[in-house]
């Protein structure tokens, strides 16, 4: 049985420039204990997908399709039902550890609140559990730290506290939206390792959202590459990296500078994708990538490409997969 | 220091920093407490040769941005000196420094905060010319158009306002503004970290093209080692206010000597496969 099924999800934002198609016909499945990464550039719809799972979308947004979790469609759940799921069965770690903690409460209060709210734990028990959680996420001297305020912690420590809060109710699904974008690389490594080991240990499902293919490829089993609100390529991590199929995924991968330790690299130019990410209100009618794609044809500008099977579980939405392969 | 020696030094090095130190005094937490100071930069010396670029890597709080502010004269060092084109920028008069600013310009990280939203692109790009050089309006217009072409902007963009551009385009505008006085040194503090990967590659290529065309030197500050390798001949690894390692980028990344450099390189997440497009 799947833990989470996203079926034909469409998220439309009502803007002054007309409807913005943040997510279009997105489908994926996540089995319990599995890990899935959503990767894409700004405005590709990855965060909107996360927010729609948690029912945290702003008011000017309409959704269609279904997000099924525990036999319920989260899109049609009442606020009350959602409140019982959020922070309890499904938890989220946000990007900004600076702003997602409340500055006027101690970190202890913020962890304890979650447990007393959802599980009815007594305050004394919750405090003991909070100390254990802080210890688990690698915060030294948790007994003293618990009565400190967020400003007394570094960025990495704050993100650890966020993880402790997210894990306090042992959720079935953890959603991490760019959890390491705001921290240094050495801290990033520690935080990712922490998330990975905790996900394994507790048997949680994980949806990791990032713009960084390096982060994604090192953390998850399955990848959804998004562009302009649609999934352009999906598959397991090894499938995608051994056979990069969609022109966008190809472009994205080859645009990433890599450390080589060779003098020659200084002279070689990076591959670029021409143009910029299109506005959500002005997406091309056909394939969303058609205006930046080197092999786009007339067909691409008129008809959205269907998801084509490449291998069991590996799909790419492109009319010219054969030509893309030869590139 | 002797004037003649400075003059002989000036053509070879666009930047010569000697024993730079910067202390910040923290506000007192209690009334009778001893004043605490933070040593952000502790005795750093380095030079940048004309046409070569130096990358500065390190994690937040290591002092790299403070160092950038010192070498661009935005802050005064506690001790030490910075020479640009032969002049000690912290000792010359404000007027002289202003004139000297033609030689070194800055590109900031945030392409949204660094452009005045009420000014047209034409005015933003021309601003350094108006304040630093006496040029006729016609000449100014000509220079603006030529530099905008250099960075890949259209002539019609001159009438537009910053909000009409994407992040990558804004960074191009910031680069055009930095280049209009034809500087020898451009200090760029995380110029691509706010951009998407596909756009980041465009800007990195642009930085390399411009360097070859104008024999520029960059002092490029970045947390991303791969970005530094793309653009810089030399690299300095900064940790706790000092350079822990310094050398040719290719050698240093292939064979790091210092433990901190090793840990930085270790933390870079490798991409599986070797897809190169």
Query: For A55-82, what is each residue's pLDDT tens digit?
Result: 999 899 999 999 999 889 999 999 999 9
Mean pLDDT of A9-20: 91
CB–CB contact A214 B268 (8 Å)? yes
CA proximity to B21, closest of B251, B250, B241 = B241
- ipTM score for this prediction: 0.82
Q: Are B185 and B178 in contact (CB under 8 A)?
A: no
Mean pLDDT of B49-57: 93
CB–CB contact B229 A41 (8 Å)? no
Query: For A119-147, what is each residue's pLDDT tens digit?
Result: 888 999 999 999 999 998 888 899 999 99
Average pLDDT, rounded, for chain A: 90
Residue B239 clears pLDDT 90, i.e. is over it: yes
Mean pLDDT of B262-276: 82
* Set of chain A residues whose Cβ sits within 8 Å of the Cβ of B253: 259-261
Residue B31 clears pLDDT 90, i.e. is over it: no
Q: Are B165 and A221 in contact (CB under 8 A)?
A: no
* More confident: A265 or A306: A306
A290 phi, psi to nearest 5 deg: -60, -35
CB–CB contact A270 B59 (8 Å)? no
| Domains of chain B, each with CATH number or no CATH | 3-233 (3.40.50.300)
Establish if B225 touches chain A: CB-CB under 8 angstroms.
Answer: yes
Residue A175 clears pLDDT 80, i.e. is over it: yes
Query: For B164-188, what is each residue's pLDDT tens digit?
Result: 888 888 999 999 999 999 999 999 9
| A243 C-beta neighbours (distance < 10 Å), count | 16
* Set of chain B residues whose Cβ sits within 8 Å of the Cβ of A184: 59-60, 223
Q: Are B114 and B162 in contact (CB under 8 A)?
A: no
Dihedral class, residue B227 (left if φ above 0, else alpha if ψ from -120 to 50, else beta): alpha
Q: Are B13 and B45 in contact (CB under 8 A)?
A: no
Highest mean pLDDT among A156-160, A230-234, A274-278, B152-156: A230-234
CA–CA distance, B142 with B150 (Å, rounded to integer): 12
| Domains of chain A, each with CATH number or no CATH | 4-89+169-326 (3.40.50.300)
Interface of B with A in 123-142 (CB under 8 A): none
H/E element holding A103?
none
In eight-state DSSP terms, residue B187 is E
CB–CB contact A253 B271 (8 Å)? yes
| pLDDT at res. B17 | 95
Find how far residue A277's CA is from the centre of its chain.
Answer: 19
CB–CB contact A262 B168 (8 Å)? no
CB–CB contact A217 B275 (8 Å)? no
């Amino acid at each position: 049985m799947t833990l989470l099924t996203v079926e034909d999800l469409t998220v439309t934002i009502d803007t002054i420039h007309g409807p913005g198609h943040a997510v279009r016909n997105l489908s994926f499945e996540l089995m319990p204990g599995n890990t899935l990464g959503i990767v894409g550039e700004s405005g590709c719809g990855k965060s909107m997908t996360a927010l729609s799972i948690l029912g945290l979308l702003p008011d000017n947004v309409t959704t269609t399709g279904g997000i099924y979790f525990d036999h319920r469609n989260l899109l049609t759940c009442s606020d009350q039902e959602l409140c019982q799921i959020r922070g309890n069965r499904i938890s989220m770690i946000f990007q900004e550890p600076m702003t997602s903690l409340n500055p006027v409460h101690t970190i202890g209060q913020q962890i304890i609140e979650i447990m007393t709210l959802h599980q009815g734990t007594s305050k004394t028990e919750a405090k003991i559990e909070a100390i254990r959680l802080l210890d688990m996420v690698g915060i030294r001297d948790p007994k003293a730290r618990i009565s400190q305020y967020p400003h007394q912690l570094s960025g990495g420590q704050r993100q650890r506290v966020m993880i402790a809060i997210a894990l306090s109710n042992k959720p079935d699904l953890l959603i991490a939206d760019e959890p390491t974008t705001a921290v240094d690389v050495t801290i990033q490594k520690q935080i990712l390792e922490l998330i990975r080991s905790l996900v394994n240990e507790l048997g949680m499902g994980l949806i990791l959202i990032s713009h960084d293919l390096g982060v994604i490829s090192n953390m998850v089993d399955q990848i959804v590459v998004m562009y302009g609100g649609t999934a352009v390529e999906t598959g397991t991590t090894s499938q995608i990296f051994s056979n990069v199929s969609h022109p966008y995924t190809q472009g994205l991968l080859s645009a990433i500078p890599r450390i080589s330790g060779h003098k020659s690299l200084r002279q070689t130019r990076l591959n670029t994708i021409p143009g910029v990410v299109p506005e959500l209100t002005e997406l091309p009618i056909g394939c969303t990538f058609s205006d930046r794609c080197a092999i786009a044809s007339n067909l691409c500008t008129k008809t959205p490409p269907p998801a084509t099977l490449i291998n069991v579980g590996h799909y790419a939405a492109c009319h010219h997969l054969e030509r893309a392969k030869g590139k | 220091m002797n004037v003649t020696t400075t003059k002989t030094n000036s053509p070879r090095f666009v930047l010569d920093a000697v024993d730079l130190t910067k202390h910040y005094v923290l506000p007192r937490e209690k009334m009778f407490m001893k004043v605490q100071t933070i040593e952000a930069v502790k005795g750093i010396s380095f030079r940048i040769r004309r046409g070569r670029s130096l990358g500065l890597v390190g994690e937040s709080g290591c002092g790299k941005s403070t160092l950038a502010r010192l070498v661009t004269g935005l802050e005064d060092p506690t001790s030490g000196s910075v020479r640009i084109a032969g002049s000690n920028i912290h000792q010359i008069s404000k007027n002289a420094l202003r004139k000297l600013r033609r030689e070194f310009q800055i590109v900031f990280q945030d392409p949204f905060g660094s452009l005045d939203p009420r000014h047209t692109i034409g005015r933003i790009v021309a601003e350094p010319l108006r304040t630093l050089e006496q040029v006729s309006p016609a000449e100014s217009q000509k220079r603006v158009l030529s530099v905008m072409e250099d960075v890949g902007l259209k002539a019609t963009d001159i009438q537009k306002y910053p909000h009409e551009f994407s992040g990558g385009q804004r960074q191009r505008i910031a680069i055009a503004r930095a280049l209009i006085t034809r500087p020898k040194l451009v200090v760029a503090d995380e110029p691509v970290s706010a951009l998407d990967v596909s756009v980041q590659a465009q800007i990195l290529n642009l930085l390399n093209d411009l360097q070859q065309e104008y024999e520029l030197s960059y002092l490029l500050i970045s947390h991303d080692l791969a970005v530094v390798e793309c653009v810089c001949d030399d690299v300095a690894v900064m940790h706790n206010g000092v350079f822990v390692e310094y050398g040719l980028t290719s050698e240093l990344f292939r064979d790091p000597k210092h433990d901190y450099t090793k840990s930085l390189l270790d933390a870079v997440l490798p991409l599986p496969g070797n897809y190169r497009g």
